[in-house]
Amino acid sequence: MDALYERSYTMQMGEVHLPGVDLYMLNDTKEVKRVMQGEAQSFPKSHLLHESLAPLLGDSIFTTNGAQWQRQRGMMNPAFEQARLQVAFPRMLGAVEAMLERMDVLKSDEPYDIEIEMTHVTADIIFRTIFSEPMQGPDAHRVFDAFARYQAMAPKLMLPALFGMRWLRTPWLQWRSNQAAKEIRTLLQAMILPRYEAHQRGEPGAHEDILAAFMRAKDAETGAPFTFEELVNQVAMLFLAGHETSASALTWASYLLAKSPEIQQRAHVQVRAALGQRAPEQSDMKSLPLVWNIFRETLRLFPPVGFFARENTAACPMRGKQLKAGSTVVVAPWLLQRHRKWWVDPDAFDPDRFDREESKDAIKNAYMPFSMGPRVCLGAAFALQEAVLILSCLLRRYQLQPVEGHVPQPVGRLTIRSANGVQLRLVKREPAEGA
């Protein structure tokens, strides 16, 4: 991200040429829709992504292309019915209540890295949704810790590959990354195997969750289910994508709210009016439009996945250039969603822009935090409900305050994170405050 400069936010297409690598950064919304939507089959995900993530995710839906991806997506679409919002909500609420218990013991006068808690609660939610149990106990926390190590190392392996400089990937770093991936997969295998074997024996399952739905999923043509190895791949993918992206966005939302006390207070009043002091219900989520807009605006400014890498399968023209086959085409929500052509005051945190007429074209053409086209995120609705629930519970109980002198430094890892954490103060509100 340090390579970006002011012109990056006004250009329609930029290019970088290195030995063996032709990379194009695409901001032209018409061409973006061509790459991501209209001709998506001609612009599959970069093989470099698969190369970098295969030790952890194997051939999962996140990295595969073509017929293999279509088969997996076709099997997983109905399986995701198990993650539908009404079913998932009680599990989300249980994880949020556990989060509040952990946060209640914090001292309000001491800075706290909110990124730690946002990563914990989102991991807990996806763990409960996959396995029907909270993320507790030594094995669950070993999975959590190993994922944290892996996500810190992954970009150091991916970026050199993307720019044709694999020699920058040291054997020591590759070994450490592979060890973290192996540890995660070993732990997940141990959790999945007993239920997989029981399912194979025809025993009725005790839980209705995503793992159960994945085990029941069938190939539409052959009737074959996922193999055990495929199950591990998809669960690893879901755990990584299902908590890492949400944790990134919720961390930045907390920081933006701390820096915007007027918006924070408006949202607090809305939450108190909708929920009072009772436990939230799934039907309450539609009564919190400002909280929804706060999260949507956070996704605009800090999209969890800031850059989507695609490669063209055949030579083709694009904006007057002739792209060679195998070129890397990067579609960057980070740039599109701050682009000077589309957005009014593009760097400002302004949740109300989502209710204004002037933003309609930008939202339609230059807003894609969950990607677009056939590879649009399966869990978008899940992530939005999760975020609104977490933020509304935070805003009801705490006032989020910035720490003087602390400025988070955004960096591109697997998601957009802060290199130096996100320090806040959490001041507990009085029960009747703002009522």
Q: Please state the rounded mean pLDDT for residues 407-426.
A: 90
Q: What is the mean pLDDT of the chain?
A: 89
Greater pLDDT, 176 or 319: 319
CA angle 231, 234, 237 (to 5 degrees): 145
The answer to whether residue 312 scores a pLDDT higher than 80 is: yes
Q: Provide the pLDDT confidence category of residue 169 given band limits of 50, 70 and 90.
A: low
Residue 321: strand pairing partners: 318
Phi, psi angle pair for 299, to nearest 5°: -65, -30
Domain boundaries in the chain?
A: 6-428
CA 243 to chain centre: 7
The answer to whether residue 433 scores a pLDDT higher than 70 is: no
Q: Which of 84-93, 311-320, 395-404 has the lowest mean pLDDT?
A: 84-93
Q: Cα separations (Å) of 71 from 226, 354, 376? A: 10, 36, 16
- Distance, in Å, from the CA atom of 391 to the CA atom of 397, rounded to the nearest integer, reads 10
Q: Please state the rounded mean pLDDT for residues 171-187.
A: 83
Phi, psi angle pair for 278, to nearest 5°: -85, 170
The answer to whether residue 434 scores a pLDDT higher than 60 is: no
Q: Please state the rounded mean pLDDT for residues 12-20.
A: 87
Q: Please state the rounded mean pLDDT for residues 161-175.
A: 65
Give the pTM. 0.92
The alpha helices in 201-288, defined as continuous H runs, are 210-216, 228-258, 261-275
The answer to whether residue 164 scores a pLDDT higher than 80 is: no
Predicted pLDDT of residue 172 = 67
Q: Please state the rounded mean pLDDT for residues 291-314.
A: 95
Predicted pLDDT of residue 144 = 78
The CATH number fitting domain 6-428, selected from 1.10.1740.10, 1.10.630.10, 1.10.10.10, 3.90.800.10: 1.10.630.10
Q: Provide the pLDDT confidence category of residue 345 given band limits of 50, 70 and 90.
A: very high
257, 263 Cβ separation under 8 angstroms = yes
Predicted pLDDT of residue 168 = 59
Q: What are the tens digits of pLDDT across the range 347-406? A: 999 999 999 999 999 999 999 999 999 999 988 999 999 999 999 999 999 999 999 999
- Distance, in Å, from the CA atom of 340 to the CA atom of 417, rounded to the nearest integer, reads 23
Q: Provide the pLDDT confidence category of residue 341 given band limits of 50, 70 and 90.
A: very high
291 Cβ neighbours under 8 A, 6+ residues apart: 267, 270, 271, 388, 391, 392, 395
Q: What are the tens digits of pLDDT across the range 45-77? A: 887 777 778 888 888 988 888 899 999 998 988
Q: What are the tens digits of pLDDT across the range 257-300? A: 999 999 999 999 999 999 999 999 999 999 999 999 999 999 99
- For the four alpha carbons of 180, 181, 182 and 183, in that order, the dihedral sign comes to positive
Q: Which of 49-63, 111-125, 208-222 has the lowest mean pLDDT?
A: 49-63
Q: What are the tens digits of pLDDT across the range 321-334? A: 999 999 999 999 99
Phi, psi angle pair for 49, to nearest 5°: -65, -45
Q: Report percent pLDDT > 90 for the chain.
A: 65
